[in-house]
């Protein structure tokens, strides 16, 4: 991780800068947001397969018995409770509006062969985010 600049010194510097900015601007909770991206399996599994060492009582991970594609889900919420409608990224080449049928109103979607976030898709999500927090 140090090759990526992820050192305890850099982490401390980040939080020192964050605290300084927060104290300087005194942001209210409705202006502080967290964003996260996660992969959601689109393969339904009847019974999860448990992965663990033989003879161990504690299990470290549970995985789907059938491997399949993931849809990337990007969500954001403020410390004050405002939820930004999510962005979904589907692993495919062509858009199809049926993919988002039944999603939360205001949700957006994109497609990419990998189903993962890309720089241009993050820019699209960020513009979506800004439209809700103006």
Tokens of 97: 């509006």
pLDDT in tens, 72-91: 999 999 999 999 999 999 99
**CB proximity list for 11: less than 8 A, separation 6 or greater:** none
Distance CA 50, CA 78 (A): 35
Instruction: Say which residue, 45 or 14, is predicted with more confidence.
Output: 14
17-59 pLDDT, tens digit per residue, is 999 999 999 999 999 999 999 998 877 666 556 566 666 665 5
The Cα–Cα gap between 60 and 53 comes to 9
- CA dihedral (77, 78, 80, 86) positive or negative: negative
Angle among Cα 32, 35, 37 to the nearest 5 degrees reads 175
Which is more confident, 93 or 5?
A: 93
Q: What is the pLDDT of residues 113-128, one digit of tens each?
A: 989 999 999 999 999 9
pTM metric for this prediction: 0.72
């Amino acid at each position: 991780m140090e090759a990526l600049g992820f050192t305890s010194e850099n982490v401390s510097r980040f939080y020192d800068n964050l605290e300084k900015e927060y104290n300087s601007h005194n942001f209210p909770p409705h202006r502080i947001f967290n964003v996260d991206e996660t992969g959601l399996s689109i393969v339904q599994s009847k019974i999860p397969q448990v992965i663990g060492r033989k003879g161990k009582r504690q299990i470290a991970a549970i995985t789907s018995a059938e491997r399949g594609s993931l849809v990337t889900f990007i969500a954001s919420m403020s410390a004050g409770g405002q939820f930004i409608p999510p962005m979904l990224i589907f692993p495919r080449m062509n858009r199809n509006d049926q993919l988002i049928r039944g999603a939360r109103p205001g949700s957006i979607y994109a497609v990419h062969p990998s189903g993962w976030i890309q720089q241009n898709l993050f820019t699209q999500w960020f513009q979506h985010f800004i439209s809700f927090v103006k």
